[in-house]
Amino acid sequence: MNNCRRLEIPMMVLSLCLAAQVTVAQAHSSKKSAKAHAGAANVHKAITPDQIQWSPAPNFLPSGAQTAVLDGNPMKPGSYTLRLKFPDGYKIPAHWHPAAEHVTVVSGELHLAMGAKWDESTAQSLPAGSFVVMGAHTPHYAWAAGETVLQLHGAGPFSVTYVNPSDDPRNKKP
């Protein structure tokens, strides 16, 4: 028997063993995925605009804003969805977030600019229906034209770090 012939059977056995391991791993992965999907499918939440409960925004935002948490807890690890309502002329100084921020303009108009220094000439006007994603640690600032409602979603915990600490409302003395 030549050398090739002697290796053929052990190689076939090895191939079959590897194929069996891959099949078992795929089946296990599919079961996990199906369980996760089934759990997600059992969660149903519908909120109409009249059911949204607004409250004053947390102290890390300038006063005047309102917030409503639609899903999750923005202050804990995990996904969240929240709404922010700004009065006309509301301004948020240059700041950044530790995770990506996904923003949809629900109503009104948001003026958004990237950078650490306020310069209205660089802002983009985002009317209702607009969507923007900002990467983690990306300095930006914004203001509202008319009452403006935003929907934010992302991965918590959500936090705001102001570029200039003196802009941080938590540092203001009463």
Q: Per-residue pLDDT for 2 more than 80?
A: no
Residues 74, 152: Cα–Cα separation, whole Å: 10
Q: Is the dihedral of CA 18, 20, 23, 24 positive or negative?
A: negative
Q: Per-residue pLDDT for 24 more than 50?
A: no
The whole-number average pLDDT for the span 53-61 is 96
Return the pLDDT at 41: 54
Residues 83, 49: Cα–Cα separation, whole Å: 11
> pTM to 2 decimals?
0.74
Q: Are 106 and 85 in contact (CB under 8 A)?
A: no
Q: Is residue 154 classed exposed, middle or buried when 0-12, 13-18 and 19+ CB atoms within 10 A define those classes?
A: buried
Return the pLDDT at 17: 38
The whole-number average pLDDT for the span 95-119 is 97
Return the pLDDT at 85: 98
The whole-number average pLDDT for the span 33-55 is 73
Q: Which residue has the higher pLDDT, 19 or 59?
A: 59
Average pLDDT of the chain is 83
pLDDT interval class at 1 (50, 70, 90): low
Q: Per-residue pLDDT for 83 more than 50?
A: yes
Residue 157: half-sphere exposure toward Cβ, Cα within 13 Å = 5
What are the tokens at 79? 């996904």
Residues 138, 53: Cα–Cα separation, whole Å: 30
